[in-house]
Amino acid sequence: MTGAALLEIRDISKSFGGVVAVNRCSMTVREGTVVGLIGPNGAGKSSVIDLVTGFEHPDSGSVRFDGTELVGRRPDVISRMGIIRTFQSPREWRDLTVIDNVRIGRSNLARESLFRSLVFARGLRREEAKETGEIRAILKDYRLDDVRNSRAVNLSGGQKRLLEFARIAAARPRLTILDEPMGGVNPVLGERIGEAIRDLKRAGSTVIVVEHNLPFIEKTCDEVVVMDLGSVIAQGAFGDLRDNSRVVDAYLGNDDE
Amino acid sequence: MAANLTHHHTRGCRTTFRQERIERRNFTHSPCSRLCYGHFQLVAASFLTTFFWLGSGSEQTRGVRSVRGDMNIFWISVGSGIAVAAILALSAVAFTLEYAVSRVVNLAHGEILTIGAYAAYVGENNFHQNLYVCAVIATVFGALGAMALNFSLIERFRNQKPLSTLIATLGASLILQNVVLIGFGGASVSYSFAQGSILHVGPFLWTVLTIKVMVSAVVVAVLIYLLLQKTRLGKALRAISQNRELAQVSGIPARLVVMQTWAVAGAISGFAGFLYGETIGTITPTVGNGFLLLSITAAVGGGLGRPYPTLGGAVVLGLVMSIASTYTSSAYQLVIAFGFLVVMLLVKPNGLFVRGRISTVRA
Amino acid sequence: MVQYWTAILTEAAIFGVLALGIDMIWGWAGDFDLSAYAYFALGVYVTMILTIGKPSPPVEYILGWHLPYLLAVLISVVVVVAFASLIGAVALRALREVYFSITTLGAVWAIYYLVENFTPLFNGYNGLSGLVDPMGGGLSYNAYHYLFFGFCLLVLLLAYLVVMRLSRSPFGRMVRAVRDDELAAAVYGRNVFWTKYRTYLTGAALAGLSGSLFAAYIGAFNPLDWRPTEIFVLYAAILVGGRGNPRGVVLGSFIVYVGFVELTRYIPSPSARPELGPALRQILIGLLIILMLKFRPGGLIPERLGTDDSRRRWSTGWLHPRPRASVKIPEASTPLSVESSDS
């Protein structure tokens, strides 16, 4: 519970065409924790994720991951440092098979060089075949093994969510950022997703979850960060925050959530 | 020696594709085929002479430059730029309206212009009609062509990716262009409207016909404005361009409005095709092709899917090209236009007059 | 008759190489590139100016080095890739989908008019002529043609093997992942631009290679031989055969080239109307593109699916049933609704 700081966000700000989305936001995420990021709609939660993962660049401030500055780096570079994120709706490579989707999560990038793919094709295929057992174990875990050879686009919405978690499990990131993993998910699948997040933690990943579903946050997260109007207004254990008047105001005063 | 012989025989035995290419050379290369893309310079030249086809625009210009000095040729060029920009604006707005309601980059747009131009040609030559009746014929056939395109193709590809629809319109462009080719032959045909006398308007030199063209373009632009802002169709059109599904559940008959928009866009295109043919004097089945590229450039440069930014983009493009063409050969018009397009796309991808940008790697 | 078929099949083989290259760009990477025909043409031009001698006035063109054919092929592929790297760097950096297509459409016409009008480069409108003899001369007419046909088939086979190998490799899988969702690909550490760029350049190299073959095949080349609209024939071939599947692409180019030659042979083309035959052919191409897109976008042999078999399985459309549709998990079958987005 008391690991070193893995992600340090210091005073980042971002405005889109005059509208301030993130305003001098700072937070620290310690290694090995599951942190819930909550706040009313428009609080800037998704913007913070975009800024951390390089999909947007902050106007000012700094983001450090394990001591390395992330600001100014491309999303793929940040990902290679060990950060995987999701989006509000599940994204899959629609015309690839389910097993290929997970393989891409697992795959080491050197294997995808044009030269090696051309010259050492057979060796690469053997390497991949060796991994198949591991990949299928992950697929079984997420109940996708039966559909592993069909196109990802044919999956149901819930299966696509699970595929996303299977991919993350294969990628084994140091930091996982989940943007509303419970959006539009039924209760039974919700249970499974909570389980998946605990699995990620057990496997050694630090997790940030953006979510509106407070009971889910309470059950899953070690710590909660509350945002409103683009900045962090509170950080701490869920139970402590329930009585924080600013948090209650943010949720009840500005929004109907 | 033997090698040379071989080469000769190769050409003889290759019957199909190669022969076509050679044949195509014979019927497409007339002096007039150069008019398609060298229009700016030519328009400038046609103010100074009353007959249409001149060997090369640049020679004419050079002669003029020595007589009148550089400043004059600059203003003449800008004047012709304004004239073509007016037609370009109409074509580009039609293109943008199609995009607005159907989210389709219609690469068969140039062919609607061609249809309008040829319809007017048929009206003029076969029925001895006057200018205004020809304009009406061009407008009607343009509208019919666009409606047919929307009905038979665009609506049927509505649920597919934008790129699929774009490819489909490419197919349609190929079909329409060659139907016109079969119907009218590959050689260029000419209108025979009188250009009228040359007038000095400020620093510009315009013929009466050009002034008529510009005035009618402005009138049409005003009509488009009134249509968009003051009518129920305009309101419905703007709603659909924001979100077709939402407009539909709000009780707007989306299919009908889209069809009407295509009719309007087609009418504008047909009319623009006629004006263009009238300005350059001759038309070929590929007349719309080069103009399509200019329309795309104007629309993307100004703001794709937005009529007023597109209008602005067309004016800017017309002026940029006409000024640039004063200093280079007319043949490089499209090269300049392409440079303009690339700069626009890289610097302001959503358009000169629109805020924001296209998303690639971003949420 | 044999000569006739040799000529047609040679042309089909040459365009098969080109189709393989274009399919990498469009089928794998999803970039509908309209300027690829310019790379092909550049391959033809460069091969010609490298192998034929110095120009004599009024003909003008650059170089004229009289190099051996194979060396010329190598150099022209390098030149084409260098040229494509410029256009690709501009068009692929931030532009996607229709914007990419529009840019490449503009590029190809700009190049076209530049080549047509700027005579010092490739003799402008009148084009180049002169013999490009890959066999070094000394062969009889028939022997030359059969040998050249064999050479083209060999190049096609090699190109096919290379492309096939890449298509099944981790590289091919990554390119398709970037095509399907580049945001997700970036999240998993893939450099989207670099992936697309490499694919683009490989495709352009194949286009240049096929241009080099074509240079030896035709002997004379001018801008009317490469109207940028000709590329639709290639796209029709790819659509018919199977987008994203090298096997389908080669099949498609043979079907389209041989099929259309055979079909249009019986269309009367009176001397008074020389445009009739080509025009009808173009109309058929247009129809074919639209109908394939609408009714069978996957083509005859759709793209291969990567499965867990060590022998990669082929999805062959109607020849074999498609892989099983998804098996629904009962508790996960609720349709997913995306909540209103945040900030």
Q: B363, A17: Cβ pair inside 8 Å?
A: no
Q: What is the Cα–Cα distance from B283 to A222, expressed in whole angstroms?
A: 74
Residue B352 pLDDT grade (very low, low, confident, very high; cuts 50, 70, 90): low
B357 touches chain A (CB under 8 A): no
Smallest Cβ–Cβ distance between C286 and the set B21, B37, B175 belongs to B175
- CB-count exposure of residue B255 (10 Å: 0-12, 13-18, 19+): middle
A14 touches chain C (CB under 8 A): no
Residue C202 pLDDT grade (very low, low, confident, very high; cuts 50, 70, 90): very high
Query: Does residue C342 lie in a domain region?
Result: no
Three-state DSSP state, A255: coil
Q: Which three-class secondary structure string do you get for C119-131?
A: HHHHCHHHCEECC
Question: What are the residues whose beta carbons fall under 8 Å from the beta carbon of C159, sequence distance 6 or more?
Answer: C16, C17, C20, C206, C209
For residue C180, list chain B residues with Cβ-Cβ distance below 8 A: none
Q: Mean pLDDT, to the nearest integer, of A171-187?
A: 89
Residue B69 pLDDT grade (very low, low, confident, very high; cuts 50, 70, 90): low
Domain hosting C95: range is 2-228
Q: Which of A132, C323, C326 is nearest to C314 (CA)?
A: C323
- Please write the tens of the pLDDT for every residue from A94-114: 889 999 999 998 877 888 888
For residue B355, list chain A residues with Cβ-Cβ distance below 8 A: 17
- The single residue listed with the structure tokens 């700081």 is A5
- Picking from A45-54, C34-43, C134-143, which range would have the lowest pLDDT averaged per residue? C134-143
Q: What is the Cα–Cα distance from B259 to B150, expressed in whole angstroms?
A: 7
pLDDT at A252: 58
Domain ranges of chain B: 34-347
Rounded to the nearest integer, the mean pLDDT of chain A is 87
- Please write the tens of the pLDDT for every residue from B22-57: 333 333 333 333 333 333 333 333 333 322 222 233
- Picking from A244-253, B144-153, B210-219, which range would have the lowest pLDDT averaged per residue? A244-253
Residue A188 pLDDT grade (very low, low, confident, very high; cuts 50, 70, 90): confident
DSSP secondary-structure letter at C304? P
Of residues B251 and C28, more confidence is placed in C28
- pLDDT of A180 > 50? The answer is yes
How many CA within 13 A on the CB side of residue B110? 25
C37 touches C19 (CB < 8 A): no
Q: What is the Cα–Cα distance from C36 to C209, expressed in whole angstroms?
A: 12
A176 touches chain C (CB under 8 A): no
Query: Does residue C330 lie in a domain region?
Result: no
- Please write the tens of the pLDDT for every residue from B284-308: 888 888 788 889 888 888 888 888 8
Question: What are the residues whose beta carbons fall under 8 Å from the beta carbon of C226, sequence distance 6 or more?
Answer: C37, C38, C40, C41, C44, C112
Three-state DSSP state, A224: strand
Question: What are the residues whose beta carbons fall under 8 Å from the beta carbon of A33, sequence distance 6 or more?
Answer: A1, A3, A201, A206, A207, A222, A223
Of residues C79 and B358, more confidence is placed in C79
The interface pTM score, or ipTM, of the predicted complex is: 0.89
- pLDDT of C99 > 90? The answer is no
Q: A46, C343: Cβ pair inside 8 Å?
A: yes
CATH 3.40.50.300 domain locations along chain A:
5-92+171-253
B326 touches B92 (CB < 8 A): no
β-pair type (B282-283, B189-190): antiparallel
Prior bond to C58 cis, omega within 30?
A: yes
Q: State the architecture of B34-347 in CATH terms.
A: Orthogonal Bundle (1.10)
For residue A184, list chain C residues with Cβ-Cβ distance below 8 A: 334-339
Q: Which segment, B11-20, B303-312, C10-19, is predicted with the most confidence on average? A: C10-19
Instruction: Indicate the number of domains in chain C.
Output: 1
A82 touches chain B (CB under 8 A): no
For chain C, the 3-state helix, strand and coil shares in percent, each to the nearest 5, are 65, 0, 30
Q: Mean pLDDT, to the nearest integer, of C284-309?
A: 85
Residue A107: what are its φ and ψ, rounded to 5°? Answer: -55, 140
- pLDDT of A256 > 60? The answer is no
- Please write the tens of the pLDDT for every residue from C147-157: 999 999 999 99
Question: What are the residues whose beta carbons fall under 8 Å from the beta carbon of A51, sequence distance 6 or more?
Answer: A12, A14, A22, A57, A58, A63, A71
Q: Mean pLDDT, to the nearest integer, of C324-332?
A: 40
Terminal CA-CA length for chain A: 30
Fold topology of A5-92+171-253: Rossmann fold (3.40.50)
Q: Would you list the DSSP string of B64-127? A: HHHHH-HHHHHHHHHHHHHHHHHHHHHHHHHHHHHHHHH----TTHHHHHHHHHHHHHHHHHHH
Q: Which of C159, C201, C202, C214 is nearest to C48 (CA)?
A: C214
Smallest Cβ–Cβ distance between B174 and the set C95, C225, C282 belongs to C282
Beta strands in C48-207 (DSSP E): 128-129
Question: What are the residues whose beta carbons fall under 8 Å from the beta carbon of A212, sequence distance 6 or more?
Answer: A38, A180, A182, A257, C339
Q: Would you list the DSSP string of C314-327? A: ---TTSSPPSPPPP
Q: Which segment, B103-117, C108-122, C310-324, C326-340, is predicted with the most confidence on average? A: B103-117
